[in-house]
Amino acid sequence: MRIITSPAEMTAWAREQQSDGHSLALVPTMGYFHKGHLALMLMAADKVDKVVVSLFVNPIQFGPGEDLDQYPVDPARDEELARSQGVSVLFMPTREDMYPPGFQTVVSVPELSRHLCGADRPGHFNGVTTVVCKLLHIVRPDCAVFGEKDFQQLAVIRRMVADLNMDVEILAHPIVREPDGLAMSSRNSYLGSEERQQALCLSRSIAHARSLYATGVRDTTRLAEEVRDIIKKVTGAHIQYISFFNRTTLESVNQTDENTQMALAVTIGGRVRLIDNGRLVEAG
C-alpha cells in the first residue's frame, strides 16, 4: 500500500493507473477506522481494480463548539487496517494542501442540506460537499463508496454529482451495526460504558417504529410520539430531531409509505451526538 499526501501526486498516480486500464474506487473517510469503514473498503474492492481511501479530518464541516479538536485520530492504526483490506493508496492530505491560503470556493446543495442535520448544523453540508468535490476531482475515480448511516450526506452527494455532471458512480453500503444494534461510528469511542448502553435507544427506536409500521400504523405524529417516549425514558439522552421523510427529496411526510425513511439525532450524556436511520418498509 502506498501513502500519498500530495494532491498533485495523488492525481498523477490515479492517471497512471487509469492509463494502464485499471479502474479506481474512492472511499472518503475522516479516519479512526471501524468495521463500517472496512466494509466500505471491501465493497469498493469488489467493484474495481484499485482502491483509494482518503483520510482527512475536514475542518470546514465542523461548526463552532463542535468536536474538531477532540475528533479521534490514530493514523498508524488506520494505516495498518487499510493495508489489511488490500487498499492500494491511503491518501492523507494536509489542511494546507486542501485549503490553501485565500481559499474561498464552496460547493452547496441548499435544498437537501436544509433538513435534518443541516437544520442543527448550519454550514456542515457545505463543508461536506466541498471536500468530497475536491477529493473526486483529485482522484477521478470510477466510483465512490459511502455508508448509509449518514443518509442525508449520501443524498446530498448524489445530488451534487448529478447536478455537476460528474462522471462517477456513487455506491451506498448498508449501515454496519454492533451485535446489539448500535450503528458503528467513530464517535462511539467517546461513550463510557453507561453511555454506551444509553445509546442503544436509537436503534431500539427504529426497530419500534418499524414494528408499528408493520402493524399498519402510518401516521408520523403517532410514530414520533412513540419514539420520543422510548428515548425520554433513557437517562442522559436528549433528542435533537426525529424525522420521517421521503427517501429522495428528504421532505417530511405526514403519512408513511414504502418510500419513507426515519432518521434521528440524539445527544448522549450531554456531549456525544449520534445519528441513526432506517427504512420503515423493511419491517414488512
- The per-residue pLDDT for range 78-103, each reduced to its tens digit, is 999 999 999 999 999 999 999 999 99
Out of 133, 151, 173, pick the residue that ends a domain. Answer: 173
Co-location of 219 and 144 in the same domain: no
Co-location of 204 and 238 in the same domain: yes
Mean pLDDT over all residues of the chain? 97
| Structural domain contains residue 42 | yes
To which residue does cell 491518501 refer? 91
- The structural domain count of the chain equals 2
Q: 261: closest CA among 196, 172, 178?
A: 172
| Structural domain contains residue 133 | yes
114 pLDDT band, cuts 50/70/90, is: very high
Q: What is the pLDDT of residue 163?
A: 98
Residue 194 sits in which domain range?
186-283
Q: What is the pLDDT of residue 284?
A: 40
| Structural domain contains residue 178 | no
| Structural domain contains residue 181 | no
Q: Tell me which of 37, 115, 124, 173 is the catalytic residue.
A: 37
Told to judge if 37 belongs to the known catalytic residues of this protein, a careful annotator would answer yes
pLDDT tens digits for 10-21? 999 999 999 999
| For range 140-157, the mean pLDDT | 98
Co-location of 226 and 197 in the same domain: yes
283 pLDDT band, cuts 50/70/90, is: very low
Helix (H) or strand (E) holding 272: strand 272-279
Write down the pTM of the prediction: 0.95
Out of 173, 194, 213, pick the residue that ends a domain. Answer: 173
Which residues sit opposite 51 in a β-bridge?
A: 25
Co-location of 72 and 199 in the same domain: no
Co-location of 193 and 71 in the same domain: no
Cα–Cα–Cα angle for 14, 19, 20, nearest 5°? Answer: 100
Which ranges of 181-263 does DSSP label H, i.e. alpha helix? Answer: 193-198, 201-214, 220-232
Co-location of 158 and 193 in the same domain: no
Out of 173, 201, 219, pick the residue that ends a domain. Answer: 173
Q: Alpha-carbon torsion 70, 30, 266, 121, what sign?
A: positive
**CATH label of the domain that carries residue 240:** 3.30.1300.10
Co-location of 131 and 257 in the same domain: no
Co-location of 194 and 273 in the same domain: yes
247 pLDDT band, cuts 50/70/90, is: very high
**CATH label of the domain that carries residue 56:** 3.40.50.620
